[in-house]
Amino acid sequence: MLNLAIGVAAFSYGVAAFIRFRRTKENRDAFVLLLLCGTIAVYCLPGLGDSLPTVEGVYKIVYRPVSEYVQHLFGINWEDT
């Protein structure tokens, strides 16, 4: 419910700001803002929003091998801590 409200708020803000920027001929600002607000709205969608990537999710995949290698190299054992 809260996410839906935030999604609607982001989308409304994006559209309103888009129209305002277009009026002042600041097209680049208008499109970037709309894109950003659209992204937020999509993240807020129930179901779909949860399947979208986060930095945490991507980095876990990318850096886990590096981390495991370094921990192995340093002989870090988390059980001790």
Partner 1 sequence: MKPHPDLISPGQLGCLLFSFLSGFSTLFLMEAKMVKQDVWVSYLLGIALSGGMLWLLCYVQRQHPHLSMFEVFDRLLGRWAAKLLLAVYLVYILEIQAAAMQALTTFYNTVVLPNTSPDHILLLIVLSTTYAAYLGLGTIVRTVQVTMPFFIVAIVIISLFILKNVDSNPFLPMFRHRLPEMAYGGLLSFYFPFGKSVVFCFLLSHVTRKERLYAGSMTAVVLSGVYLCAATYLTFGSLGMQLSTDASFPFFSAIQLVKFGEYLERIEIMIIGIWTMFTLFEVIVLQYVFTKIVGHLFGLNKTQAFIFPVGLFFFVIAQKSFPNINDLTLYNLTIAPFSTLIPMAAIPLLLASLTYFTKRGIPR
> Among 52, 31, 54, which Cα is nearest to 43's?
52
Residues numbered 16-75 forming contacts with partner 1, rule: CB under 8 A: 17, 21, 26, 28-29, 32-33, 36-37, 39-40, 43-44, 49-50, 52, 54-57, 59-60, 62-64, 66-68, 70-71, 73-75
Q: Would you tell me the crossing angle of helices 2-23 and 27-44 to the nearest 10 degrees?
A: 170
Contact between 61 and 48 under an 8 Å Cβ cutoff? The reply is: no
DSSP H/E element including 14 = helix 2-23
- Residues in the site for partner 1, rule: CB under 8 A? 2-3, 6, 9-10, 13-14, 17, 21, 26, 28-29, 32-33, 36-37, 39-40, 43-44, 49-50, 52, 54-57, 59-60, 62-64, 66-68, 70-71, 73-76, 78, 81
